[in-house]
Structure 1
Amino acid sequence: MTFVLTSPAFKNGDTLPQAQVFNGMGQSGQNLSPALAWHGVPQGTQSFVVTVYDPDAPTGSGWWHWVVANIPANVTSLPEGAGSGKAGLPAQAVQVRTDFGQPGYGGAAPPPGRKHHYVFTVHALDVPALDITPEASPALVGFMVHHHTLGAATLTAVYGE
């Protein structure tokens, strides 16, 4: 079975809806993390990490929009707004600092000039939890994920001109 990530808000390659766009930095979205669901989980999965990354941000290193770790293996979906404080995350989940400077979901806010890709990824891990706090950087989480990934599923949306 293939590990698959889906959202009722958009399909792979679609334009990111306004609900998932940042409210600030020249944007007027609702800044809600989208509902996400995954299936075809690799055998041996003990937890999940969800990330949202924009590789096109003009920073030299992209832009991390959301990182939430320590999602229990029996959780295979997140409701809309889970990363925005509008819906519940599992009690064990830890959202870490993003490139907006604080934990939680930060929607699309690209500078004008070209479309940006927003890569939503769920990582299936072989450990029940990562030893992190909300002050952790996305790079630290990425390093830990790299060493414990059993599989990953992605869903990409675009936004911008």
Structure 2
Amino acid sequence: MQSQGRGRSAGWWVTFGVIAFGALFLVIGVVLTGVSISYAADAERARGTVTDVEWRTSHSTGTHRSRSSSSSTMAYPVVEFTSADGRTRTFESSGGSNPPSYERGERVDVLYRADSPEDARIDGFVSMWLLPLIFTGIGLLITGIGTAVAITRRRRSRAA
């Protein structure tokens, strides 16, 4: 009888851990959303042009047992814009993709902070909202699954 109690207790801890893990992702997603909203609200806007596309290859290796490695090549747009002080600025987007999201010569909207124009971003879905959406979505999914499991377990234990 005591081993059943321990099994149930372990199950509750696992369920709690899943909910806590999901909640952590949810909190990170909400914080990233707040950062993006704050950045967009305080940012200056300018029109920019993609002057180049930088291709970078990143290598990742598996565990020492598998000895596998993979590489992925991503395209990062380099954008030039004129800030409010009249100076021409250039930045490389922190978000890369394959196939490239932007082509040389393409016009883009740029967001930048007036006090630090080098901190610029392309005003697009991927650069502003993809990470907040991913973290919030995963957090909601995992927390929702953990909560559903907890509710189901509780109902079953009450019925028994």
Normalized against structure 1, the TM-score is what? 0.21
Relative to its length, the structure with more helix (as a share) is: 2
Greater gyration radius: 2
